[in-house]
Amino acid sequence: MKLAIGILGMSLAFAEIGNAQASSSNASAEVPAAREGATDSSYTVFDATPAQEAALRAQIRLMHPEVLPLRVFFVPHWKYLDNARIFHLHVPAGYGSFMFTHLPSRTVFIDNDRYQDESWLGYWIAHELGHLKSNSIKESDAEKAAREFRRRLSTPIKIYLEVASGFWAGCRQY
């Protein structure tokens, strides 16, 4: 399983995009309290390094999601799989997901053994925020919302091109 995941991870193609719409000035132009619960303190991050948590919070702040998670867990791979099993997430052989969201509890699980960097984090958390915004387990709904969140990120984001072409099958929300 781990090997398959590693191969999949390595096969992901990178491309840098600079987003002309997202300027760094967005970072200081915070939308004040317009969105319900849109504050850093309204969700809890578990078991992240200080750098990971800082990056996550900065990215979520920039993306201004309409619906925030309540909890974000960074977990080792074995625990990720365990949680996936508990939440009946089906991870087919040769595929996997890096994160998943349990919608009823607004809890996001991140497979920390597959964490790459902040761009990776931003790209994938946008997808999970898309599930939360759309309140949908459908990958297409999540991606539609995620595209807007990614636009709001002021820093260039690495796009994992192959992921967009069918990798969503590995991600399920319950």
DSSP secondary structure code for residue 70 in this structure: S
The minimum distance between CB 163 and Zn ion, in angstroms, equals 11
- Phi–psi pair at 125, nearest 5 degrees: -70, -30
Q: Which stretch binds Zn ion (CB under 5 A): 5-13, 78-86, 136-144, 150-158?
A: 136-144
Binding positions for Zn ion, 45-74, rule CB under 5 A: none
Q: Give per-residue burial for 91-101: e unless 16+ CB within 10 Å, then b.
A: beeebbbbbbb
Q: Which is it for the CA torsion 61, 67, 73, 76, positive or negative?
A: negative
Of these, 53, 117, 171, 174, which contacts Zn ion (CB under 5 A)? Answer: 171
The minimum distance between CB 97 and Zn ion, in angstroms, equals 7
The minimum distance between CB 79 and Zn ion, in angstroms, equals 19
Residues that bind Zn ion in the complex, under the rule CB under 5 A:
139, 142, 171
